[in-house]
Structure 1
Amino acid sequence: MRIQTVLVCLYFYLVFPENIIGLWWAVGSPLVMDTNSICRKSRRLAGKQQEICQNEKEIVAEVARGAQLAILECQFQFRLRKWNCTTARRSFAKVLRRDTRETAFVYAVTAAGVTYAVTQACSMGRLLQCTCDNNIPELTTDSSYRNKISDIITDGKFEWGGCGDNVEFGYLKSTEFMDARRKKRRGDITTLIQLHNNEAGRTAVMLYMRIDCKCHGLSGSCTLKTCWRKMPIFRDVGYRLKEKFDGSAKVIGSNDGKTLIPEGNTIKPPSREDLIYSEKSPDFCKRSKRVGSLGTKGRYCNPNSMSVGGCDLMCCGRGFSKEQITVTENCMCQFKWCCEVKCKTCVTEKTVYQCL
């Protein structure tokens, strides 16, 4: 299934979860990534979403780019798991129908991807409505950290400058686009869970901004540093969210229907960085149209691993086969000045293991 089609399907599910049955209108369309087409098809847009579609179509393009970034990261983080964030037809959308740990990750990484893409577009000058962020960071409540920054600035050796990433703008647009419609349905446990996981994704970007610096001075001396805020590498965001997936908390609705509480009395309430879910995940071992599982038959595995990706777990006890395959790849690459890389083509035999 084309990645562009999946992006639009993901977009419609994230914005209109109640309209899941009508997701597949875009299958086969060459216009699925066209901003005008997305907004024109989205007749049920309301509030901020409609306003963004009408007045900030360049933001919608970055939303789509962020969704693509999110799907690729999801596939990397889950490449060794039974559910590998597949974008196969009739699978992805059905998996997202349930409030499972997998769905929690998809929502979180998508919100993070949208935040990341919009913020990056700001820094690169693609969006006229935002500028670089040149403010001193306020991302920590640690007063000693802020005092340390002030001390460095006042000694004449350090100053804020450059083009800092305006993550606050990316955070705002991600919130407006992904949360706006759901805020009207807060009494629904699914809505509460999705809003929480959206926020966890944005938090994984916003709370982990890093500082980049450039030295100035004669002969490479660093008599003065110019520093600015940069977003974390998105792969690090993915790793952070994957850790939260592994430690995600199962929740239930409170009696008043306005909040979520842990299912067990001994479990601490989840923080804004944690992922939450309310339904047990399918085992994904066997093909099931009902839950969108493609099963693990034919998946590659590692017979020497006893953890995720190992044949025992991946193949669900069914066993695995061993075969030799021919692999063609670049090898013996050399860098030629300037600026070319030349490689030879090597053909090798490789042993692979596949689940039965």
Structure 2
Amino acid sequence: MRSRLPRTACLLRIIALCILLSHAAAYFGLTGREPLVLLPGPFSNEPPTGKAHLKQCEQMTLTRRQKRLCRREPGLAETLRESVRLSLLECRYQFRNERWNCSLDGRGSLLKRAFKETAFLLAVSSAALTHAIAKACSSGRMERCTCDDSPGIQHREAWQWGVCGDNLKYSTKFLKKFLGQKKVSKDLRAQVDAHNINVGIRLVKRGLETTCKCHGVSGSCAVRTCWKQLSPFHDTGRLLKNRYDAAVRVLSVTNAATGETELAGPHRHGQSPRTTDLVYLEDSPSFCRPSRYSPGTGSRSCAKDTSCQNLCCGRGYNTAMRLTSLSCHCQVRWCCHVECQTCVREEEVYTCKTA
């Protein structure tokens, strides 16, 4: 299915950056066995200025209009790179035990199809961009925005607004301007992509919370310092993965009252999908064998009791022994020093057979 996507092209280009950066996954070390720890990116508190900032904008895969916006917003180029890093790491983490593990290296064909996986990529990219811009504002990495200063809390006279809140209001406003989303296309694929992009933005908004700290005599909380703070991006990624698991296949219908085309889910008696549903148009491939959509699951590590059966697609798995070093027999020495020995442990490793 061919599609003209003028209003979502920039997000597809941002995801293309993920393709170029996907080889860096080995450096980040996401094996699926450790808890998610987002590594700090190469970002400083001071936004790049002058020629350095302009050069970064020119090096990014953006439209001509987006490059103009980038040049006017010192710090935006770094923020865009941060959003790519966030979306790439989160995608790989959420799909670490799935047949498709977010590997896009050399397989951009997947982005041309309206699979559930494409829906997740668009949503996680827009969510990461929304999150990164809001955080960049509150940390001072972007010059044209600052902390959120509109708490909107009742009994405001009893509260003292303090610290630097994440500026989600500016983030969403700027994002609409950056994406150039003015009018929804009649093209079905464009509608689906726009819907999934908005799902990512909405789920970030859901994670905005008010955090407060008490001040006063004997902890009386006569005065509270409060600020708005986004939840960790990993929380948004987990919500998006849940939406992916429950994604709705849609088709296009004509609204009898307005004459406009709308998305409808056949499994919901023709009703429109919810605003937080990820939607898709065509069933995904199995991802078991190498194809233009994925490298397959051959040689992938798996857990014998939980993931090998599904991940290996019925081909079975190989078992090997591996020696690993770990700290053991640790003792606390007076007062604050811990001494440990190094133990070597033999463990079984399982990998999917290629044939």
Whether these two folds match at TM > 0.5 is yes
Hey, what does 1:150 align to over in structure 2? 154
Aligned-CA RMSD value: 3.6
**Does the CA contact (< 8 Å) of 1:63 and 1:114 recur in 2?**
yes
Pick closer, same or farther for the CA change 1:19–1:84 going to 2, 3 Å: closer
**Does the CA contact (< 8 Å) of 2:14 and 2:125 recur in 1?**
no
Work out whether 1:352 is the aligned partner of 2:353. no
Cα distance, 1:353 vs structure 2: 1.3
Hey, what does 1:65 align to over in structure 2? 82
**Does the CA contact (< 8 Å) of 1:327 and 1:350 recur in 2?**
yes
Cα distance, 1:164 vs structure 2: 1.7
Hey, what does 1:98 align to over in structure 2? 113
Corresponding residue SS for 2:83: helix
**Does the CA contact (< 8 Å) of 1:186 and 1:258 recur in 2?**
no
Hey, what does 1:120 align to over in structure 2? 135
Hey, what does 2:195 align to over in structure 1? 196
> How far, CA to CA, are the matches of 1:267 and 1:336 in structure 2?
69
> How far, CA to CA, are the matches of 2:137 and 2:121 in structure 1?
24
Q: For each residue in 1:118-165, what CA deviation from the matched residue of structure 2 results, as whole angstroms up to 9, or x when unmatched?
A: 11111111112112112124xxxxxxxxxxx525x45x4x44333221
> How far, CA to CA, are the matches of 1:237 and 1:79 in structure 2?
16
Q: Gapped runs of 5+ residues in structure 2?
A: 1-7, 24-42, 44-51
Corresponding residue SS for 1:293: coil
TM, length-normalised to structure 1: 0.76
Hey, what does 1:213 align to over in structure 2? 212
Say how many residue pairs are matched.
Answer: 315
**Does the CA contact (< 8 Å) of 1:189 and 1:257 recur in 2?**
no
- What aligned pairs does 1:149-298 form with structure 2 within 5 A after superposition? 149-151=153-155, 153=156, 156=158, 158-177=159-178, 179-180=179-180, 186-255=185-254, 258-264=261-267, 266=269, 268-289=271-292, 292-298=293-299
Cα distance, 1:41 vs structure 2: 5.5
Pick closer, same or farther for the CA change 1:340–1:183 going to 2, 3 Å: farther
Q: Gapped runs of 5+ residues in structure 1?
A: 1-12, 138-148
Cα distance, 1:252 vs structure 2: 1.7
Q: For each residue in 1:31-73, what CA deviation from the matched residue of structure 2 results, as whole angstroms up to 9, or x when unmatched?
A: xx986456436687244x2431231242122012111111101
Hey, what does 2:10 align to over in structure 1? 15
Hey, what does 2:320 align to over in structure 1? 323
Q: For each residue in 1:282-333, what CA deviation from the matched residue of structure 2 results, as whole angstroms up to 9, or x when unmatched?
A: 11011113xx21111111222222xxxx211111111112221122345677
**Does the CA contact (< 8 Å) of 2:250 and 2:265 recur in 1?**
yes
2:63 to 45, 59, 62: 45
Corresponding residue SS for 1:284: coil
Which range moved further: 295-304 or 101-110? 295-304
> How far, CA to CA, are the matches of 2:82 and 2:334 in structure 1?
34
**Does the CA contact (< 8 Å) of 2:17 and 2:61 recur in 1?**
no
Which range moved further: 116-125 or 211-220? 211-220
Percent identity, aligned pairs only, is: 34
TM, length-normalised to structure 2: 0.76
Cα distance, 1:96 vs structure 2: 1.6
